[in-house]
Chains A and B, each alone.
Chain A
Amino acid sequence: MAVEDRYESHEYDVIVVGAGGAGLRAAIEASANGAKTALVCKSLLGKAHTVMAEGGIAAALRNVWQEDGWDVHFRDTMRGGKLLNNWRMAQIHAQEAPDRVLELEEWGALFDRTKEGLILQRDFGGHRYARLAHVGDRTGLEMIRTLQQHAVHKGIDVYMECTLQKLLTDGGHISGAIGYWRESGKFVVFKAKAVVMATGGILKMYQITSNSWECTGDGVSMGLEAGADLIDMEMVQFHPTGMVWPPSVRGILVTEGVRGDGGTLKNSEGRRFMFDYVPDFFRAETADTEEEADAWYADKTRRRTPDLLPRDEVARAINAEVKAGRGSPHGGVYLDIATRRDPEYIRRRLPSMYQQFMELADVDITKTPMEVGPTAHYQMGGIRVEADTTATTVPGLFAAGEVAGGLHGANRLGGNSLSDLVVFGRRAGLYAAKYALEQASQPGVDPGQIDEASTAMLAPFEGDGKENPYSIHADLETCMQNLVGIIRTEPELVQALDELGKLRERLSRVTVQGNRQYNPGWHLALDLHHMLTVAESITRSAIERKESRGGHTRDDFPGADPAFGRVNMVTRRVDGEMTVKQEPLPEIPDELKQILEELK
């Protein structure tokens, strides 16, 4: 029997997987360029993790500081990323971000305003000037709703609560994907000339994380299995400020905007400890007294406060303070805005934070400091893409947003994620459409690949009853948290690899109860396959990078090593086996090198 008779199937030029900022923007662009486009997402439309972005979208609009420009933004991004970034992506990102922000405004987004009626911009870590367009502390919601409504009005086909599990290929080219409807558990096949991966984050494999259930690494894992390269998977961002108490909310994000708007970190002795953790790399541009730091908020000719050093620096500092016994009662440190800004200002600038702490922790942030600690937040690495087109190493496969690697290097600056989504989401949609429309005919789908995938998806119903997906997931979270966390060592990483192997073996015996209709246990069992693949890639890359840089800190190799600063860690499948090897970074052209030098 033909595939169409056995499975619900749909045919498109382009399918976009994931409906966060990158996926929505890609679908809008692909459709606008004449490609028959479908958007396929695991949740309801408008619920993707972009909605959680708080602080803002970075773009050198120059509404607040005339001195800003794409070159300064480029320089900040590269330095924040410890120069491991793909320079061309960083350049395109800095150059195009302002247009993408203004485009959101054309589509109905309402950012907070300056006195002159233009888009207001706020301070954030690692950005030399106040650069983040924002809406209070709910910028992601504004962005996703604007894009969602724009996409709906353009009539793009949306397949909600539909989880794709495997990419289909035809002679090495993309030919579509297969997955299941969450509601019914029935399988669905998409035939497509091009696929845009925009599946977002992957850090639901950590115990303390800001990521939702959706962030299981499907896109990275499916890409790798289809033959795509991954880069820099060891680069995991631990956001310095997650909630730590009560246990129910541990890991939920506390926006960097708190510090951008004047909040400061303190230890149990009341000391502003960030002054003790300024690395040489940032010393020349960082204030060394409280007076100078506080003056910087109003006077950008002063040196910036160390509270707003890039996230990797702040997360390590908090980790060290807690270890030294100077933490808060629940294992974090204090984030104080109550004594620094008046209550009305705090409630206006940080309404979600106010509500979040009041309702979930019984803490009034206008009166009491918050308790915060690091939380697994963002994956800098991901699918390797060509900077201009977002094309991966598999013909027909494109990737944008958090699922793609390169732009952020070893550490992402706050605010650069939302701009990444729209800058590269647009490019992914554009080049995927172009590629699809150049294909003479629809590629063939291989019934063998489809049958293999559907058999694998049903396997958890036929296990021996001994392994429960929830316990495997809990053990995976413990393994990654304890052995592949903020501070890493070779013996622990090797142990993690061993444990991941055992978890993989247990997953082969996983058994789910119930039927195929909206069954979270089954869904988790299938997600675990992706999480384990990604966890292995992170761990193998972390073993290989024998230095400390950005989101990767090795206790046994505490310094940065210039030799490792010139290479990406590339994960690739060779003969069905995962391999990790070093490959040289693209060489930065002289004129951009000069920008990095001049603006130091």
Chain B
Amino acid sequence: MAESGGGHGTPAGAQVTMRVWRGNADGGAFEEYRVPAAEGMVILDVIHAIQASQAPDLAVRWNCKAGRCGSCSAEVNGKPRLMCMTRMNHFAPGETITVAPLRTFPTIKDLVTDVSFNYEKAKSVPAFKPGPKEADGTRRMYQEDVDRVQEFHKCIECFLCQDVCHVIRDHEDNKPAFAGPRLFVRLASLEMHPLDTNDRLELLKRQAGLGFCNITKCCTDVCPESIKITDNAIIPLKERVVTEFHDPVVWVWRKLTGGGKARASSGETVTSR
């Protein structure tokens, strides 16, 4: 079979050199490893080859190896990426590649970090609460109404957006008051869900810290699912907060009707950047 050697930048006998951060909460350092290159290799394959041949206790999270579960997030040459979706042919042949754990979260060991921050924040989101069914007992929603929410549902919770967000990346003290891009995507998906009736404005304005975001779009740039986090989730949420809290017409309407969402003027899908 014509399987060995050849292909993109992997001549037979070629080697991959990788510097992997080894250590735990007490500290650590980069260690260099060399393994044989193979056709089509991704960063995670190299990590597995290192485990099998040289460092059996090298800690790494992974599951699906196809970009669906969002487990194998790390910083490759300083950039947040999924290790399973980063092909070795992205790099120059012979280039030494550096793999480090996500910096925004506390280190547990090697490439594994404590991402419980994200799970704790998720608990604070008011749940999905559908309104009454149609008269015929069904739920009717049209594809064009669910399209924009389905974009948010593509999120694989890899937390790369959380990792890159400088509000928490460089300011540990902001964490209690800031939910981060992943949670804004989640909030947007609930707020724009055609059936939802729950009210999350107070959370958005006060506890989630939406105002901290100054729309630098770093989160959008690293999203492996290409969700337009800033344009389609964060900005519409910001608009909604402004409308609900500062628009006198909406304020009076809410007082008269006892709450409810203002659907107009918010959540417009932005398709270009």
Q: Which residues of A contact B (CB under 8 A)?
A: 43-49, 51-52, 102, 105-108, 110, 112-113, 116-118, 135-136, 138, 140-142, 145, 149-150, 152-153, 160, 183, 212-214, 245-249, 252-253, 329-331, 352, 355-356, 359-362, 468-471, 474, 512-515, 517-522
| B150/A51 in contact, CB under 8 A | no
In the complex, which of the residues A248, A471, A513 contacts B38, with contact meaning CB atoms closer than 8 Å?
A248
The reply to whether the CB of B1 lies closer than 8 angstroms to some CB of chain A is yes
In the assembled complex, the Cα of A570 lies from the Cα of B63 at a distance in Å of 31
The reply to whether the CB of B122 lies closer than 8 angstroms to some CB of chain A is yes
| B52/A252 in contact, CB under 8 A | no
| B2/A329 in contact, CB under 8 A | yes
Q: Which chain A residues lie closer than 8 Å to B119 at the CB level?
A: 44-45, 152, 160
In the complex, which of the residues B24, B69, B87 contacts A360, with contact meaning CB atoms closer than 8 Å?
B87
Q: Which chain A residues lie closer than 8 Å to B62 at the CB level?
A: 212-213
Q: Which chain B residues lie closer than 8 Å to A48 at the CB level?
A: 63
| B65/A212 in contact, CB under 8 A | yes
Known A-B contacts: A47-B63, A108-B128, A253-B66. Give 10 more (CB < 8 A).
A43-B61, A106-B130, A110-B153, A112-B143, A149-B122, A248-B41, A471-B52, A514-B57, A518-B59, A521-B51
| A49/B56 in contact, CB under 8 A | no
Q: Which chain B residues lie closer than 8 Å to A246 at the CB level?
A: 7, 38-41
Q: Which chain A residues lie closer than 8 Å to B146 at the CB level?
A: 110, 112-113
In the complex, which of the residues A52, A110, A152, A213 contacts B68, with contact meaning CB atoms closer than 8 Å?
A52
In the assembled complex, the Cα of A474 lies from the Cα of B51 at a distance in Å of 13
Q: Which chain B residues lie closer than 8 Å to A468 at the CB level?
A: 52, 56
| B42/A248 in contact, CB under 8 A | yes
The reply to whether the CB of B157 lies closer than 8 angstroms to some CB of chain A is yes
Which of B133-141, B213-221, B244-252 is the contact stretch? B133-141
The reply to whether the CB of B45 lies closer than 8 angstroms to some CB of chain A is yes
The reply to whether the CB of B9 lies closer than 8 angstroms to some CB of chain A is no
A46 to chain B, nearest CB (A): 6
In the assembled complex, the Cα of A245 lies from the Cα of B39 at a distance in Å of 9
26 contacts between A and B (CB under 8 A): A43-B71, A46-B69, A46-B157, A49-B63, A51-B63, A106-B139, A108-B130, A108-B195, A110-B146, A110-B149, A110-B193, A118-B138, A141-B153, A149-B128, A153-B127, A183-B108, A213-B63, A246-B7, A246-B39, A247-B38, A362-B8, A468-B52, A471-B52, A517-B108, A518-B112, A522-B57
Q: Which chain B residues lie closer than 8 Å to A105 at the CB level?
A: 139
The reply to whether the CB of B273 lies closer than 8 angstroms to some CB of chain A is no
Task: Please classify the interface of chain B as helix (H, G, I), strand (E, B), loop, or mixed, using the class held by over half of its residues.
Answer: loop
Q: Which chain B residues lie closer than 8 Å to A118 at the CB level?
A: 138-140
The reply to whether the CB of B154 lies closer than 8 angstroms to some CB of chain A is yes
Task: List CB contacts (< 8 Å) of B110-133 with chain A.
Answer: 110, 112, 115, 119, 122-123, 127-128, 130
Nearest B residue (CB) for A352: B68
Q: Which chain B residues lie closer than 8 Å to A512 at the CB level?
A: 56-57
Q: Which chain B residues lie closer than 8 Å to A252 at the CB level?
A: 65-66
The reply to whether the CB of B85 lies closer than 8 angstroms to some CB of chain A is yes
| A470/B56 in contact, CB under 8 A | yes
In the assembled complex, the Cα of A469 lies from the Cα of B127 at a distance in Å of 44
In the assembled complex, the Cα of A228 lies from the Cα of B139 at a distance in Å of 42
In the assembled complex, the Cα of A33 lies from the Cα of B76 at a distance in Å of 46
